Amino acid sequence: MNGKEILSKFGFEVKEEPISIYPFSPVFRVKNSDYDVVVKRTQDRSDNLITYTTMLNCNGVNVVIPVDLQVDNPQKIDETSFVVYPFVEGSMYSGKREEIFEAGKLLGHIHSLSPVSNDYNLSEYNVYDFNQQEVEESMEAILQHATNAGVEFDKALSVKLLEGVANQEGLKHAGLPHVATPHDYKANNLVLTPEPFLIDPDNATWIPRIFDLALALLLFHNEHKSAPNRVFTIDEWELFLAGYKQYITLTDKEKLLWEKAKLHVFLDEVMWLMAEYEEDWKNPSQQSLFDSLIHILDNTDYRLE
């Protein structure tokens, strides 16, 4: 089904095939009466997602929720779920100190509103089955991409990733605090109004809280034109955490297992990113980000204290 047909299901008629405003999936900006909206994919558990994000919105969190239409919103179209959100006007994140603090504060606010159990029936994180073969195959692809791009790459990364494979059963059964969270909390999913406003909550998940924090540490600046082409500096990470801790007090167990959690999220979220997208290695910004990501695994100064 093309973009015109998707839009028509929501009552939007356009003369020409719409162009996505996001390069990696269909996201269409259209006019709804006197304001703009965005039509995009959402998760299959859309009813659970909307119940959750509506709760966040009602509790003062800046997050998009579906607009009222004459038709169902969200709805499933050819086995794919789509939703219509308001288009949020604002500026892009650029890595300023106040932006980092406020981004951390927003994530803390979101986590603070989570129930203690998965009351919203969100999909539950359960990715603890990585194996040695996957690491070896991914490392082979990563090294080939780096070589083709003329980038020097430390092969010792494979040793760390295999360490992550060995850790995963222990993490799975560690009894870490879980939260309902939009997950995928990155700069490219925020618009500054000037406070950060979350425009993509569609990966909402029930997940260990420090896994969500680790993802923010590792990939907050990924694929964002105006963000620094690196992970947070230690000072920036402490600033992000300072905002986060306006709402959250982390447990001793979370602090103890932080390094293992950071490595696990790298294994889950970063390894495939480096292995799957050869074109990223030809992009100087992504090259720099990848380089900073590799070095972060051996840097224990990114603490939760």
Q: The domain that contains 47 carries what CATH number?
A: 3.30.200.20
Q: Is 171 found in the same domain as 50?
A: no
Asked if residue 72 is part of any domain, the answer here is: yes
Residue 73 CA to its chain's centroid (Å): 23
pLDDT at 1 over 80: no
The residue that leads in pLDDT, 11 or 153, is: 11
Q: Is 77 found in the same domain as 105?
A: no
Q: Is 135 found in the same domain as 48?
A: no
How far is the C-alpha of 231 from the C-alpha of 221, rounded, in Å? 6
Asked if residue 305 is part of any domain, the answer here is: no
Q: Over the stretch 228-273, which tens digit does the pLDDT of each residue have?
A: 999 999 999 999 999 999 999 999 999 999 999 999 999 999 999 9
pLDDT of residue 23: 78
Mean pLDDT, the chain, integer: 94
Q: Is 52 found in the same domain as 123?
A: no
Q: Evaluate whether 104 touches 243 at the Cβ level (below 8 Å).
A: yes
Q: Is 158 found in the same domain as 26?
A: no
Query: How many domains does the chain divide into?
Result: 2
Q: Is 134 found in the same domain as 44?
A: no
Taking the model in full, what pTM does it have? 0.95
Average pLDDT over residues 76-91: 94
pLDDT of residue 217: 98
pLDDT at 305 over 90: no
Q: Is 77 found in the same domain as 106?
A: no
Asked if residue 304 is part of any domain, the answer here is: no
Asked if residue 301 is part of any domain, the answer here is: no
Q: Is 45 found in the same domain as 116?
A: no
Task: List the domain range (segments joined by +) for residue 53.
Answer: 3-86
Of 218, 208, 234, nearest in space to 185 by CA: 218
Of 24, 51, 86, the one marking the end of a domain is 86
pLDDT at 277 over 90: no
Q: In the chain, helix, strand, coil percent, each to 5?
A: 45, 15, 40
pLDDT at 204 over 90: yes
Q: Is 104 found in the same domain as 55?
A: no
Q: Residue 126 maps to which CATH number? A: 3.90.1200.10
The total number of residues shown for the chain amounts to 305
pLDDT at 302 over 80: yes
